[in-house]
Amino acid sequence: MSGKVKYRIPFTVPLREDRSVLVLGFESTSHTFGVGLVEFREGAVTILANVNKRYTPSKGGIHPREASYTHLRNSKQALEEALDQASVKLKEVDAVAVALGPGLGPCIRVGATLARFIASMLNKPLVPVNHAVAHVEIGKLVSGLADPVVVYVSGGNTMVLAGKNRTYRVYGETLDIPLGNLFDTFTREVGIAPPYVVDGKHAIDVCSEWGQEFIPLPYVVKGNDLSFSGLLTAALHLAKRAGRGDKRRLGDICLSLRETAFNMLVEVSERVLLTTEKDSVLLVGGVASNAELNRKFELMASEHNAVYHSTPPEYSGDNGAMIAYTGLLHYLYGVSVDPVKAYVRQRWRVDEVEVPWVP
Amino acid sequence: MGPIERLTRLAEGAESIVLLGSLLGQDVVVKVRVSRSYRHPDYDRVFRFYRTKTEARVMAELLEKGLKVPQPILVDMENYVIVMTFVKGRRLLHVLNSYGVEDLERIYRDVGRQVGVMHNSGIYHGDLTVSNVIVTENGEAYIIDFGLSGYSNDVEEYAIDLHLFDRSTRNLVPDKADRLFKSFIEGYSSTFPRHQEVVERMFDIRRRGRYVEERLRRKLRREAYTQ
């Protein structure tokens, strides 16, 4: 178990330092089936295992039923690998955490069924975890930031959050499609994806490198909320007029699309940073690994003397460790659910969850 | 800044710095749209140009309609600066908890009436929150910050204004929000004939995915607003 990084929880939790807790977590809200094992010992958190199996569609986007079948096939192996990696036995686990939403119903059910079964079999508490809260918590743990403005961007979510009164309040979010979805849909429609991400680089970034010129596109910010659907339509319209094969022009469109979308997001985040008067910004979710977005956020934060942190790829995309860790936090505060009543909540909003460790 | 004296920093926004100064003995607000390094340079210029232009135009037009908004005095399109009159008072945000409900209802009716006139002129505010309404000492409500405003005949834009205003109120004073919004609609419907359409659209917006939990409650709420 040497070589595993120990993290300090960046806030205080109600637990005696001499106790140790081991939590198993399941993530299956979207394209990833993940199993994580997290241990709390001597005041520090160690991620013992983080095994993630990804469903990659051969064409089009995620098909919920196909994805859930893939999760089912992967689940046994993922669990075994995780227990093996951590060299622990299933019966040593103190609590079982599971992401019950938000996400795709058929996919969540795979993780939920497995977690309910294991919790009932071991007679251990089952801890419900909100997927969005988990993204935020793992980001805070890895970066060491206690109370940042959190920008959560992935294929299915775009929101700017900040902790207030024991919840994560949504200060700004997308009114229609999420940022990751915008890029996925655009690159798919113009024929340069799937695969959407190759070697950690999204097709939109590859395409942006072909372009030079900036074309003005619809920039829609309403209050602190964003709208990307008009931007997508406008960009697709331009691409259609350019015709296939004009690589340079397509590059210009990709560059302008990415530039406009990122500027919108950074502007809104900047406004939230100023209104909430926090001193740090944290980027989480699948799009957190994007180099250009990181560059923009770094510049924005430095202009306001704020600390900026992104999340490393293994914890920014969907993963099992974040569910296990967030489950651990909830478990320390005594949250658990009867397996019979552990319903899947496809539209479970992040601001409905009570997070007692947030001031 | 030439003739403007005693400049002090009033606030810093995401895209601008707001200064307080004095011009010929009158208090003025100087809004400077600053360059942002994270923006593409071409884009940065276009962006600042259009926002400055729209903001100044909208304010001038609303003044003509007799609304209580700051008066633009000078507009510099090369440095993206607007100089406007200073409205002395407190933000609605800061008086929400200290004012009585009757006073607040009167303020909300007034804001509603003004927003109705604005929408009737084909203008939307784009960032209508409780931070962007100033209440003066004698209880008059001024709408400020037209940085995100624009021209449109689309009901959607008007509905977003209502949505944002109600949201920001609801976040701060959830128990009074229903009464206050009703007062707002009273004022709004007196000046804008398409009010019903806009309120309907506001509920539609909240049904688009993100406020799904509200679906269950929407019928009750809708009846409370439409007589």
CB-based contact B162:B199 (threshold 8 Å): yes
Question: Which residue is closest to A347 within chain B, CA to CA?
Answer: B212
Under an 8 A CB cutoff, do A259 and B43 touch?
yes
Pairing assessment for the beta strands A95-101 and A126-130 based on DSSP bridges: parallel
Residue A4 has what DSSP assignment? Answer: P
Q: A99: which strand partners? A: A129
Under an 8 A CB cutoff, do A216 and B43 touch?
yes
Query: Whole-angstrom Cα distance, residue A93 to residue A50?
Result: 15
As a whole number, mean pLDDT of residues A169-183 equals 91
Closest CA to B143 of B157, B129, B154, B155: B129
Residue A79: what are its φ and ψ, rounded to 5°? -65, -45
Would you say the CATH fold of A149-277 matches that of A6-137+315-352? yes
CB-based contact A234:A217 (threshold 8 Å): yes
Fold observed for domain B5-85: Phosphorylase Kinase; domain 1 (3.30.200)
Report pLDDT digits (tens) over A289-343.
999 999 999 999 999 999 999 999 999 999 999 999 999 999 999 899 999 999 9
Question: Which residue is closest to A164 within chain B, CA to CA?
Answer: B171
User: Nearest by CB to A222, which of B38, B160, B213?
Assistant: B160
The pair of structure tokens assigned to B67 is 């609304």
CB-based contact B143:B55 (threshold 8 Å): no
- ipTM of the shown complex: 0.77
Task: State the amino acid at position A216 in one-letter form.
Answer: P
CB-based contact A209:A218 (threshold 8 Å): no
- CATH architecture of the domain formed by A149-277: 2-Layer Sandwich (3.30)
Residue B204 makes CB contacts below 8 A (sequence gap 6+) with: B159
**pLDDT score of B24:** 87
CB-based contact B202:B163 (threshold 8 Å): yes
**Cβ-Cβ contacts under 8 Å, B217 against chain A:** none
Query: Whole-angstrom Cα distance, residue A130 to residue A323?
Result: 8
**Chain position carrying tokens 């993963």:** A319
CB pairs under 8 A between A and B: 67
List per-residue pLDDT tens for chain B, 227 residues long: 567 777 888 888 778 899 999 988 889 999 999 998 888 888 888 889 999 999 999 999 999 999 999 999 999 999 999 999 999 999 998 999 889 999 999 999 999 999 999 999 999 999 899 989 999 998 899 999 998 899 999 999 999 999 989 988 987 888 888 999 999 999 999 999 999 999 999 988 877 655 555 555 555 455 555 54
CB-based contact A234:A216 (threshold 8 Å): no
Residue A127: what are its φ and ψ, rounded to 5°? -110, 115
Each domain of chain A, given as residue ranges in start order, spans 6-137+315-352, 149-277
Closest CA to B3 of B77, B89, B76: B76
CB-based contact A182:A259 (threshold 8 Å): no
Report pLDDT digits (tens) over A138-151.
999 999 999 999 99
For the domain made up of A6-137+315-352, the CATH class stated in words is: alpha beta
Residue A274: what are its φ and ψ, rounded to 5°? -75, -40
Secondary element (H or E) of residue B88: none
Q: Which of 1.10.510.10, 1.10.3720.10, 1.10.150.120, 3.40.50.720 would CATH assign to domain B90-225?
A: 1.10.510.10
Each domain of chain B, given as residue ranges in start order, spans 5-85, 90-225
Pairing assessment for the beta strands A280-284 and A307-309 based on DSSP bridges: parallel
Residue A308 has what DSSP assignment? Answer: E
User: Nearest by CB to B15, which of A260, A267, A295?
Assistant: A267
**pLDDT score of A1:** 41
Q: Could you give the residue numbers annotated as active site of B?
A: 127
**Cβ-Cβ contacts under 8 Å, A215 against chain B:** none
Expressed in percent and rounded to 5, the helix, strand and coil fractions of chain B are 50, 20, 30
The pair of structure tokens assigned to A178 is 């999420």
Q: CA distances (Å), B101 to each of A287, B95, B166, B176, B181, in order?
A: 45, 11, 16, 8, 12
Task: State the amino acid at position A316 in one-letter form.
Answer: S
Under an 8 A CB cutoff, do A349 and B38 touch?
no
Q: Which of A170, A212, A222, A293 to mutate to test the interface with B (most CBs of B within 10 A)?
A: A222
Question: Which residue is closest to A268 within chain B, CA to CA?
Answer: B14
